[in-house]
Structure 1
Amino acid sequence: MNRIAAALALGLASLVGGCATYADAPVANAPAEQRDPVTILVSIDGFASDYLARGLTPTLSRLAAEGASAPMRPSFPTKTFPNHWTLVTGLVPDHHGIIANRMEDEARPDEPFTMATVDPYWWNEAKPIWVEAEEAGIRSAAMFWPGSAVPWGGTAVRYGPVTDGEMASDWQAFSMQVSNTQRVNSVLDWLRRPADIRPAFVTLYFDTVDSAGHDGGPESAEVDQALRDIDTHIADLVAGLAKLGQPANLVIVSDHGMAATGSDKMVVLADIVDPSLYRLVEGGAYATFEPTDGNTEALEKDLLRDHAHMECWRKDEIPARYQYGTHRRIPPYFCLPDTGWTISATAPDAAWSGGNHGYDPFAPEMASLFIANGPAFRDGVTLESFQNTTIAPLLRHLVGLPQVSRADGKLADVSQALVGED
């Protein structure tokens, strides 16, 4: 019966079509949908600002030349999770609570935070922009952004569905098994939807440049290959948007740069301080310590003296320029090595080399990427360096959310790049 009905419908359409002119018969000649610009925040983890000058990323270089760009200063510490949360909240890590990739909290003594943690308890001190957008009726979608799989406002892990406004309308939990091509295609698929369920704000995250930088170091062939690959995928995104007729304001950033490091640049704690005096909370590009019982004075005597290639402070004496040291999750003692050096409890067993980050955000090696391109941006604008706390105010401007006084960044830092702004 369905086949008969379809045949009758087709025959009727043929008869009607015979009475029409060629110009008005095809549906394809209907006016194209006039789409409003979508705002897409793209993070290329570990993309150092100076990577753009290598000549390996023609799409990114074109977007920069035809839009706005700047070397952007990350927030401290220059780690992935703290800076990704800064980018979407406008607050420095000391204020939003994600103060490290690994951290501890007195209220959860046996449950340290790691990059796999989605318990809302750790994240609920600062509201991400996709939640504020959803609350304002602006549909959002997040592809792998750190924290996007966490329901906003809770104090414990959720099981089962969340209510409207707690998360982006669409999101995907991070998996390294999902290729960069699949990530781009997922974003484009979201934008193919009917207008009533199509996101107006989207985040997209790539991790492969960072992984290559850690493995081979910033000057490696691995990084060069990762840069070429990422540029191809940005080109695919741009082409896909054009095919959809979807105007977009692209804000392309990274969370930090990358510094060369290796076994020839090590600060070995065993040579400096008695290991019985402390518990190492985190080591590497910086180190944090808890004193063992009754050993605070002895630890301070060893730790808070002059060291080659490393400075150490009590948490409340960390230099003000780092905007770090007041949050309860920061351990009592903090040591920062020279950029490119590694703090380790013991000496390495074998020679090694690679790349790392977490260092002084004012170090040139830590400078991150900023490119903005789209109808909201002027052409050919090169900005002075600014801190990444400015990105959230910029996103608020683009999606139509009001600015907020609590943010650590300000829109004025990038206003000269915006059409219609002074």
Structure 2
Amino acid sequence: MIIPTYEMINISKKHHQRHNHFKLVVFSFDGFRPDYITVERTPNLYDIAKNGVQGIMRSTFVTKTFPNHQSIVTGLYEPYHGIVNNKFIDPLTKQPFSVNNDSWFWWDQHNISVPIYIANQYYESNRYSISLQWPGSISNYTDGYHLDHRERVHYLENYQSNVDFFHLIDVLMKWLTDPIKPANLAFVYFQQPDETAHQYGPFSDEVYEQVQLIDKVVGYFQQQLLKMNLAHLTNVIYLSDHGMSEIRSERSLYIDKCDKYYPGLKYELYGSSPTWSAIPISAPKLSSQKSSELAKSVRDALNDCSHKYYNGKFSVYLQEEIADEFHYKNNIRILPLFIISEEGYDVNYKDVGYRPKGYPIWGNHGYNSSLPSMQPLFLAKGPRFKTSYSHPIPFENIDLYPLMLNLLDIPLKHFPTTNGTFEHVHQMLIYQLYLNDDKFTMSLNVFFYLISGFMIIFLAGFCFVCISGRIEKNYLRNSIDSSSSSSTSKRLINYLKKISNGQQNEQRYRMFANERPTSHLDSSDDDDDNNGEDELFNRNRHQQKAINKNQLTDIDWDILGTGLDIDLVGQLKNETSNGQNIVKRNEYLDISSDNTSDNNDNVDRPSSKSKRKNEIISLLITDDDDDDCNNMNDKEIKIKINNEEFENLISETNVITNNNNKVIE
């Protein structure tokens, strides 16, 4: 009991050092809308939504694939980690971004991005993370403090356009159960149904087939968890990066016409529909704006063109004019101008002849993240998540970063650089540890110290009771065996008085011949007394008097050491209402139970041989108990008794002692 108490005291101290036994797996299904889930189409995901956690999550803006995947794992808005679109340019290097470029220059623009799969490995050396096709995991990252050291995810499989989804699950389970370096965190990316929805539209049969395939993969994963005995240890999050909107051919806009309507207007576009970033080159010739306000001149010309020729279906903003709710400014990669179309419209510079497979219907995303069509999927299930819970508070995908840190038992204070807020999502957990709260840690310490103190007091009391009982049980024997003065006899009598008051019917005390006290004689029992023989005889008569429960303390304790074997409790139990004489057996006195009767005075005197033995015993006892310096030694005793009697008595005493020792054992 002491060991677990000690461990409880140190739980909060060692909490950040122990290896977390829960695993976390995050699946991303690109472009998966929450309304794809039905009991008939997706029974596995439907069961998770019904029995696990579901919530209303909001993507970061712009609602594109690569920026949102990087925001999910870093907890940062897009201008902070630097992936501002699927396609963009860095104005300093004039180089375009490519998703296959593993340079941290692109994925960690400001050296502050610490993806959760990297934080997991930095936090403890025996933690390993998995990335299966997750965008951005090909790069290396710092821990947010030491910029001279970067690390990659331990288990990595790069993106493959034709990969078998069930193969991804097999690889995932292999790394989760690796016998030497088992991973405790995994991020898995599926490019469907986004890839199909771009071609056929979000509500096409082709997309629904991909949705059903995704559901089968989820079912296969759950079976593998059960097979590997990991279901009760694995928290799983099923999400998407964004939603999907339907586009029709009549809603496709080509803004190169504006160049004809506004001669001299020039600009460069970077991005993809429906969001573009632009660098102004020249203003219209008829523009009244000064050259120092080139960006405003181009903005005004494009907005005017939109209202006159496109019914205002796209808008142009200076970067600083972008609404704060989008958290999409203050980054040079966004460029001076930003163009976005209304929901359901595509905007491109000119028609290059490309047509999707489902033309005249296709799908696209990138619009305002608050639109229902852009809402991503969020489901969760596992030992740390509530069951049958619908989270009532809308949250952003950046809030998942502190949530995942909590699921991994990583204090937020170790990786504080995040735009996410744990308070937006913690209600979906069965229990949550505010690992970044020192007050919580202090409260935890106080709680464990109180529990430990109570346990120590309880154990001390328990041990005291046990030891006291042991002392009480052995007190009589210890008192008898001690070689103290006659005060021992007084303490013994007082102790027996105490016992007789409360424990007369429960305690049994048995005196053996070899357990005689060393100081049972007082000054009146000195061997020099000529009446020693009569005194012993009188004692025997006194000891044979009947005693009842209330007379227990009147026993003459001088009988101790004379070889009497007395069973007080047995005599008390056998005592009748009229009283019964105590029967004593003296190893040296020829007194048997046949000599006792109701008349206490009717006792035969011992024989002459017995008298001689009593005289010898009295000499031995007096010699052993006398505290004076003039004790008789064995030689002096042998003077008074012949050698033969002395040797016979010693031999007889040893036999009795050995027999009594056997009884004790």
Asked if these proteins are the same fold (TM beyond 0.5), I'd say yes
Change (3 A) 1:401 1:359: same
- Aligned partner (choices 90, 94, 102) of residue 79 of structure 2: 94
Q: How far 1:117 sits from its partner (Å)? A: 2.0
- Aligned partner (choices 364, 367, 370) of residue 375 of structure 2: 367
Q: How far 1:394 sits from its partner (Å)? A: 1.1
Q: How far 1:97 sits from its partner (Å)? A: 0.8
What is the aligned partner in structure 2 of residue 159 from structure 1? none
Instruction: Confirm or deny that 1:262 pairs with 2:248.
Output: yes
**Within 2, Cα distance between the matches of 1:219 and 1:115?**
28
- The residue type equivalent to 1:268 in the other structure is Y
**Within 2, Cα distance between the matches of 1:153 and 1:38?**
23
What is the aligned partner in structure 1 of residue 239 from structure 2? 253
- The residue type equivalent to 2:381 in the other structure is N
Q: How far 1:53 sits from its partner (Å)? A: 4.0
TM-score normalised by the chain length of structure 1: 0.85
The structure richer in strand per residue is 1
Q: How far 1:296 sits from its partner (Å)? A: 3.7
3-state SS, counterpart of residue 178 of structure 1 = coil
Work out whether residues 299 and 316 of structure 2, in 8 Å CA contact, stay in contact via their aligned partners in 1: no
With a CA cutoff of 8 Å and minimum separation of 6, indicate the structure with the bigger relative contact order.
Answer: 1
- Aligned partner (choices 93, 97, 113) of residue 113 of structure 1: 97
Please show how residues 38-117 of structure 1 align to structure 2 within 5 Å.
Answer: 38-53=23-38, 55-109=40-94, 111-117=95-101
Cα RMSD over matched residues?
2.2
Instruction: Give structure 1 regions of 4+ aligned residues with deviation exceeding 4 angstroms.
Output: 273-276, 347-351
Change (3 A) 1:37 1:164: farther
Could you list the per-position Cα deviations for residues 262-284 of structure 1 after superposition, in whole angstroms to 9, with x for gaps in the alignment? 32112321233458511111241
3-state SS, counterpart of residue 329 of structure 1 = helix
Could you list the per-position Cα deviations for residues 340-370 of structure 1 after superposition, in whole angstroms to 9, with x for gaps in the alignment? 1011112475763200011110110000010
Instruction: Confirm or deny that 1:386 pairs with 2:395.
Output: yes
Work out whether residues 86 and 271 of structure 2, in 8 Å CA contact, stay in contact via their aligned partners in 1: no
Could you list the per-position Cα deviations for residues 144-200 of structure 1 after superposition, in whole angstroms to 9, with x for gaps in the alignment? 11011112249xxxxxxxx99601111111111321111111101112311x40001
3-state SS, counterpart of residue 167 of structure 1 = coil
3-state SS, counterpart of residue 27 of structure 2 = strand
What is the aligned partner in structure 2 of residue 420 from structure 1? 431
- The residue type equivalent to 1:152 in the other structure is Y
Work out whether residues 142 and 150 of structure 2, in 8 Å CA contact, stay in contact via their aligned partners in 1: no
3-state SS, counterpart of residue 235 of structure 1 = helix
Change (3 A) 1:354 1:54: farther
Kindly tell me the number of residue pairs found equivalent between the two proteins: 378
Please show how residues 277-292 of structure 1 align to structure 2 within 5 Å.
Answer: 277-292=266-281
What is the aligned partner in structure 1 of residue 137 from structure 2? 148
Work out whether residues 49 and 72 of structure 1, in 8 Å CA contact, stay in contact via their aligned partners in 2: no
3-state SS, counterpart of residue 250 of structure 1 = strand
- Aligned partner (choices 216, 221, 233) of residue 232 of structure 1: 216
Unaligned 5+ runs, structure 2: 1-19, 283-290, 434-665
Work out whether residues 135 and 165 of structure 1, in 8 Å CA contact, stay in contact via their aligned partners in 2: no
What is the aligned partner in structure 1 of residue 317 from structure 2? 313
Work out whether residues 217 and 260 of structure 1, in 8 Å CA contact, stay in contact via their aligned partners in 2: yes
What is the aligned partner in structure 2 of residue 31 from structure 1? none
**Within 1, Cα distance between the matches of 2:302 and 2:69?**
31
Higher CA-based Rg: 2
Range 355-364 or range 341-350, more displaced = 341-350
**Within 2, Cα distance between the matches of 1:263 and 1:312?**
22
What is the aligned partner in structure 2 of residue 123 from structure 1? 107
What is the aligned partner in structure 1 of residue 408 from structure 2? 399
**Within 2, Cα distance between the matches of 1:142 and 1:133?**
13
Instruction: Confirm or deny that 1:345 pairs with 2:356.
Output: no
Work out whether residues 267 and 342 of structure 1, in 8 Å CA contact, stay in contact via their aligned partners in 2: yes
Work out whether residues 77 and 398 of structure 2, in 8 Å CA contact, stay in contact via their aligned partners in 1: yes
Work out whether residues 87 and 272 of structure 2, in 8 Å CA contact, stay in contact via their aligned partners in 1: no
**Within 2, Cα distance between the matches of 1:297 and 1:251?**
44
Unaligned 5+ runs, structure 1: 1-34, 155-162
- Aligned partner (choices 161, 178, 182) of residue 176 of structure 1: 161
What is the aligned partner in structure 1 of residue 521 from structure 2? none
Please show how residues 315-330 of structure 1 align to structure 2 within 5 Å.
Answer: 315-330=319-334
**Within 1, Cα distance between the matches of 2:171 and 2:246?**
34
3-state SS, counterpart of residue 84 of structure 1 = helix
3-state SS, counterpart of residue 408 of structure 1 = coil
- The residue type equivalent to 1:132 in the other structure is A
**Within 2, Cα distance between the matches of 1:54 and 1:391?**
27
Q: How far 1:136 sits from its partner (Å)? A: 1.1
